[in-house]
Structure 1
């Protein structure tokens, strides 16, 4: 099977697997009406992060097992795990069983790191960074489309909890699509030779610890304002929920159009300075959002933030690609996915605390400061230590 067909199949299946986790959480309040009518907003908030917390715990273990047992079996496992968790959630007759289902979603899922690990084995190193950009794109596309699709199903008078049963079909379809893929598409000799290809002249490799620090700071800057953006923009500019939803989605739409051209542009360039630039752009645009009273300026800042987000993620994927070894790719992607999920939890909880005590303005500024500090740390680590590829893998 050709690498292009393998990549297209894995990306389509990743989109199918991401659809439920991206589309269902915004409707937790409606889903809980039938299970726990007296559920408080704080309970809904905690349930929102339960799958993420469980995924942060399980991702490194599944990654290690993927290196030992094979990437394709663990990719199939992730899709089957999602299907099982959605079925349990859709059939749950009590709140405790529904919470168990959310835990299973995190513990048995993990399609993002599993897809990336399989692609690292199936594709040449020169194509891996762009493939990682595309898995991010499939997640962004699910983030845009899935809530609208779930809302449409609910508007068709489907009981909100039963939507889980409908969405469970998607990972089942993904399993059927993944079955024909080769278990191993390249020999160990080919993979070793690919890993030994030298990097372009002047390109430095950051250690995994340094990359994890950059990823954490970037995630904190990006995610902390997510839960509050729609209600804030509705109140600040007097717009409806639909318009506010488009404002929320603008950066992700920019990513969909810009990730591939930017990936090609950075192919032979040192990604660390570009990652720092992305962090600075994100930080600057968050600060603009904090102070503007113009809807047009706010929308333009969201578009520019999308450019910074795209630059940050594309450069981050290039940094990660430089440290990948074929034998430990599953473990590496598992740890990076776990780190991203932990940072997402910290961003959500910390952002809520800042917003509750000081409002959305201080939250925007805190996120902007986080972006600037992350850029400074990455450039400091890059300038103080010249890593070789072998050093970065330790």
Structure 2
């Protein structure tokens, strides 16, 4: 994937993973009437626990560089679906399942994004490239916080989840079209 697309992918991924976090505890209190600090903290941190447990195992699996973008797209779709289900479900077991699925999606997303970044031909510009990537992730967090606050105030508690899921699905569609067109062009040039 070209460098500008990787920057955009990094922005969207970080934006979407941050947008729901400020209001997840409020969602739990409103939809599930959970007020125990231990339970709220456990559910909030569950995707991160899944990430920490699974990152080392999943990183060992090698894939072709050409498959990394598809793995990233799949992680975006899984993450989007987990957002929608978390915001709509009234079932505690489905909520737990979606938090676990969210952790798996975050893990796959970070692995594939980092692998795509590692394939960049940096030509002694590593500091500049990683500086931009770090800056992009910070800007994504700022934008996610602002949009989460505005959407929550205007549209309600489920709005940040819906926006995060929508952005992920649009991005996965865009990347899928890009990959299909690129593959079509490669196939045509190969047969020409």
Question: What TM-score do the two structures reach when normalised by structure 1?
Answer: 0.44
CA distance in 2, matches of 1:273, 1:359: 33
Q: Which residue of 2 aligns with 1:252?
A: 48
> Which has the greater radius of gyration?
1
CA distance in 2, matches of 1:353, 1:263: 37
Matched, 1:300 2:102: no
* Partners of 1:252 and 1:306 within 8 A in 2: yes
Matched, 1:262 2:58: yes
Q: Which residue of 2 aligns with 1:349?
A: 146
CA distance in 1, matches of 2:56, 2:80: 23
Moved over 4 A (4+): none
Matched ranges for 1:269-308 at <5 A: 269=65, 270-308=67-105
Matched ranges for 1:111-190 at <5 A: none
Matched ranges for 1:72-111 at <5 A: none
Quickly say closer, same or farther: Cα 1:353–1:266, change in 2 above 3 A.
farther
> What runs of 5+ residues in structure 1 fail to find an aligned partner?
1-205, 388-394
> What runs of 5+ residues in structure 2 fail to find an aligned partner?
186-192
2:64 is paired with a residue whose SS is: coil
* Partners of 1:214 and 1:377 within 8 A in 2: no
* Partners of 1:271 and 1:319 within 8 A in 2: yes
CA distance in 2, matches of 1:215, 1:266: 21
CA RMSD across the alignment: 1.7
CA distance in 1, matches of 2:4, 2:123: 19
The alignment of Structure 1 onto Structure 2 pairs a total of residues equal to 182
Structure possessing the higher relative contact order (Cα contacts under 8 Å, 6 or more residues apart): 2
CA offsets, 1:6-53, max 9 Å, x none? xxxxxxxxxxxxxxxxxxxxxxxxxxxxxxxxxxxxxxxxxxxxxxxx
CA distance in 2, matches of 1:378, 1:309: 17
CA apart distance, 1:267: 4.0
Matched, 1:230 2:11: no
CA offsets, 1:371-391, max 9 Å, x none? 11111122223333369xxxx
Paired residue for 1:371, among 168, 171, 181?
168
Paired residue for 1:322, among 110, 119, 126?
119
